[in-house]
Structure 1
Amino acid sequence: MGELANCPKCNTLFVKTQFRTVCDACFKEEETAYETVYQFLRKRENRKALLHEVVEATDVSEDLILKFIRNGRIQLSNFPNLGYPCEKCGESIREDRLCKNCKKDIHNQLHQMEQVEMISERNKETGNKYTYYSQRTKK
């Protein structure tokens, strides 16, 4: 069920649902903006437009166009040059929430943490508080 909330755009009180995050008046404005963007992108010569070109041609904010893309209303498979920024570094991507480099970085950090936990567990099992390493000197 919905809950009462203030519209993030105009601060009007409305019933917020899973699908509606703005009031009815702002939703109608967003629908008009969507139609403008969609009509622009439907033309064959505009299908290869970059995000900033779509913003300039339609006068619709970049944030709103990105919202349409994230909600699946604009399918990137039909528009090869459109993308949205990675949530960590801002690199332009076409799927998921993170770029390949950020995914790899997070994966490496998780792997490193797992290694530290394994060493910590092994030390607990052996009862050693400290691990000492020594070098053998040449004779």
Structure 2
Amino acid sequence: MSAGPGVPAGSGVGVAAPADVSPPAGRGAAAGRAAASGGGAASGPAPDLGAVFGALADATRRDVLRRLAGTGDSVTASALAADLPMTRQAVAKHLRALADAGLVVAAREGRETRFRAIPGALDDAVSWMAATGARWDGRLDRLRRKVEGG
């Protein structure tokens, strides 16, 4: 069963980029990991679409990202876990998955690792969804006209 055109349903683990979309040259999960580990600028290369959709396939990760983006600042896994029904270790695991997808960046500050949402990290995914939606709208409109005899 599919969650939509080119986006498989399920846990999202190992989800590949949709067949009709390739990330621009020089962009991908490795670049996202470099930025997430502090090896790149926060506005660096866009994450791989497959990795982004894979990370966002999990409702808990979406919630963690929403909370992190809502703070507007960097936050520790412990601080996020205080407001969630899970352990700090579980939150840290989800944050690592988001960092691997290029959606958050981690920075060491003394003994703490602080996480921050990367502004614009979802731009390519949003663009892909808008373009795919527009293609489907066009197809459905042509089908409607054909069925209605127009």
TM-score, length-normalised on structure 2?
Answer: 0.28
Higher relative contact order (CA 8 A, sep 6+): 2
- The structure that has the greater radius of gyration is 1
Going by fraction, where is strand more abundant, 1 or 2?
2
TM-score, length-normalised on structure 1?
Answer: 0.30
